[in-house]
């Protein structure tokens, strides 16, 4: 029993635990590559906004601010500049909410392809932009594409992977996201001095979109999605490919059919179903996990790290190189997380990563307060700027170990079939709401709160770590169809679900 949220619930023996086959590996790699487009955008936008030709063309006021700013924290304080970044996430919110119906109707694979095509159009438009309107329109198209893929890809990975290795396969999405961030940082560093470097950086977004879209043509949809849409023969073939030709897939297929029929006979899925009392823990996790991920402050560091490092005394090239270093650290920690997530479990990674991030944020705040002064008017030495980078590297490692990959994994694996697409849409939608709000306000917050902006995230990291300790049960190794067991045995959530979820999920 998960008393206090501390015990691990063993997977029921009825789960179908397929082996790792070459087909399932290739399929999951292709689906996980959807993270490339989100990661590339996260990594490219911050670097581009420090390029002088880009600022001269679209944001000349920023260059004037750099010469006349009263303190170092206010150089990039521009609502129009932050709108360039945040408009994508507002568009992503819209498409992520629509993606629930699209994913259910068209399937996970087709939704990934749709997102890739839209993202391709946005990248091409951004690369050729001649004015702010074209730039923002391109960002909106990028956001619409990301909204669809962020909703469909984690679902795809959780449904296709063997239960025993679901965590490792699902973290592949965050791994490719990290690859996208690192690739964008390297490209920004290489093109920064070229007059058209910003066009190259923004326009190359079409490359990951092409890789993902073409790859999606080569894989099949998930068996769960095919059964849900009545394509039983295709579901059987899909199961045979991913489970291995020597595995009898009929029992698993029969169970998927029963689950699908049960979901449809109980209730036709509506958006309001997830608000029923029996799904209270699912709804809370769908909102809390992605919201807390953004309140770690990681994506603000990713978006604006070049601006931040320039603000604390690094040169332009050094600031861009620092973002590449952060990307390498993040990717290394993701690889480590992938290797151990199914061994040590989700809760262990969440808690240890949260503690590391907490100490790093406190250290960064204290260091900036001491070396820049209360008003941020003192110059910071190169040595202290490097110390800030080191602390942020440890912070980034803590995130890549925990909240980075697990935010995609947990919502994609906890929902029963009939609310799975709705729950994932809510999770992605919450993430985009938080992304928009925080990215739109961070540079202003940095200007007015100075080092206190990091304390804001410190408080939230402490809150979310405690939340995980008390309210998130362990989901390691539990088949998706048996996930209801963790809620009824939990010290807090059991009072909401009781036996209702179990009865609701029985075929």
> Encoding tokens for residue 161?
């992977």
The pLDDT of residue 503: 47
The pLDDT of residue 238: 84
DSSP string of 219-235, one letter each residue: SPPPHHHHHHTT-HHHH
Q: Within the chain, which residues score under 50 in pLDDT?
A: 1-15, 266-267, 501-507
| Domains of the chain listed by start with CATH number | 13-505 (1.20.1250.20)
Report yes or no on whether pTM surpasses 0.85. Answer: no
How distant, in Å, are the alpha carbons of 52, 132, 149, 430 from that of 55?
5, 11, 30, 31
The pLDDT of residue 2: 36
DSSP string of 241-306, one letter each residue: HHH-TTS--HHHHHHHHHHHHHHHHH----GGGGGSGGGHHHHHHHHHHHHHHHHTTHHHHHHHHH
Contacts of residue 57, Cβ cutoff 8 Å, sequence gap at least 6: none
CA dihedral (392, 397, 399, 400) in degrees, to 10, reads 140
> Encoding tokens for residue 351?
């808690």
Burial track 38-74 (b if 16+ CB lie within 10 A, e otherwise): bbbbbbbbbbbbbbbbbbebbbeebeebbeebeebbb
The pLDDT of residue 210: 94
The pLDDT of residue 313: 56
DSSP string of 41-94, one letter each residue: HHHHHHHHTT-HHHHHHH-HHHHHHHHH-SSGGGTT--HHHHHHHHHHHHHHHH
Instruction: Tally the residues of the chain.
Output: 507
> Encoding tokens for residue 473?
């049960």
| Nearest in space to 441 (alpha carbons), one of 25, 77, 28, 47 | 77
Contacts of residue 226, Cβ cutoff 8 Å, sequence gap at least 6: 107, 220, 232, 234, 235, 238
Spatial distance between the Cα atoms of 284 and 249, rounded to a whole number of angstroms:
34
Neighbour tally for 7: CB within 10 Å = 14
The pLDDT of residue 507: 41
Spatial distance between the Cα atoms of 473 and 218, rounded to a whole number of angstroms:
36
Spatial distance between the Cα atoms of 184 and 41, rounded to a whole number of angstroms:
8
Would you give the DSSP letter of residue 378? S
């Amino acid at each position: 029993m998960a008393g206090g949220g501390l015990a691990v619930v063993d997977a029921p023996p009825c789960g179908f635990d397929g082996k790792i086959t070459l087909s399932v590996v290739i399929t999951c790699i292709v689906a996980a590559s959807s993270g490339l487009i989100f990661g590339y955008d996260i990594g490219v936008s911050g670097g581009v906004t420090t390029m002088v030709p880009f600022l001269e063309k679209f944001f000349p006021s920023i260059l004037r601010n750099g010469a006349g700013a009263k303190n170092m924290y206010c150089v990039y304080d521009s609502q129009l500049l932050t709108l360039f970044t945040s408009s994508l996430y507002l568009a992503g919110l819209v498409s992520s909410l629509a993606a629930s119906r699209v994913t259910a109707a068209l399937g996970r694979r087709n939704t990934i392809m749709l997102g890739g095509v839209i993202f391709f159009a946005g990248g091409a438009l951004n690369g050729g932009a001649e004015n702010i309107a074209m730039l923002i329109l391109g960002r909106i198209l990028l956001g619409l594409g990301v909204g669809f893929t962020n909703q469909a890809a984690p679902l795809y990975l959780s449904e296709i992977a063997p239960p025993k290795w679901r965590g490792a396969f699902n973290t592949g999405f965050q791994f490719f996201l990290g690859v996208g961030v690192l690739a964008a940082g390297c490209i920004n560093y290489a093109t920064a001095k070229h007059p058209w470097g910003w066009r190259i950086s923004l326009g190359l977004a079409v490359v990951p979109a092409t890789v993902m879209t073409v790859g999606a043509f080569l894989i099949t949809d998930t068996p769960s999605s095919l059964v849900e849409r009545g394509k039983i023969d295709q579901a059987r073939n899909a199961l045979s490919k991913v489970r291995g030709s020597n595995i009898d897939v009929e029992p698993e297929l029969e169970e998927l059919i029963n689950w699908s029929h049960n979901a449809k006979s109980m209730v036709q899925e509506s958006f309001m179903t997830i608000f029923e009392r029996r799904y209270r823990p699912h709804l809370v996790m769908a909102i809390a996990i992605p919201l807390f991920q953004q309140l770690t402050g990681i994506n603000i560091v990713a978006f604006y790290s070049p601006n931040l490092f320039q603000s604390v005394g690094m040169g332009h090239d050094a600031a861009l190189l620092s973002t590449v270093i952060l990307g390498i650290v993040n990717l290394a920690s993701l690889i480590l997380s992938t290797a151990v997530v199914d061994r040590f479990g989700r809760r262990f990674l969440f808690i240890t990563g949260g503690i590391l991030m907490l100490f790093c944020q406190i250290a960064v705040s204290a260091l900036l307060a001491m070396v820049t002064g209360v008003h941020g008017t003192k110059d910071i030495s190169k040595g202290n700027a490097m110390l800030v980078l080191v602390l942020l590297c440890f912070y980034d490692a803590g995130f890549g170990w925990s909240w980075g990959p697990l935010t995609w994994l947990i919502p994609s694996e906890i929902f029963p079939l009939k609310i799975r697409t709705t729950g994932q849409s809510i999770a992605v939608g919450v993430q985009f709401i938080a992304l928009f709000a925080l990215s739109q306000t961070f540079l202003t917050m940095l200007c007015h709160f100075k080092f206190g902006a990091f304390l804001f995230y410190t408080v939230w990291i402490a809150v979310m770590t405690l939340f995980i300790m008390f309210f998130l049960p362990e989901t390691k190794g539990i088949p998706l169809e048996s996930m209801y067991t963790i809620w009824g045995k939990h010290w807090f959530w059991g009072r909401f679900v009781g036996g209702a979820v179990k009865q609701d999920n029985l075929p």
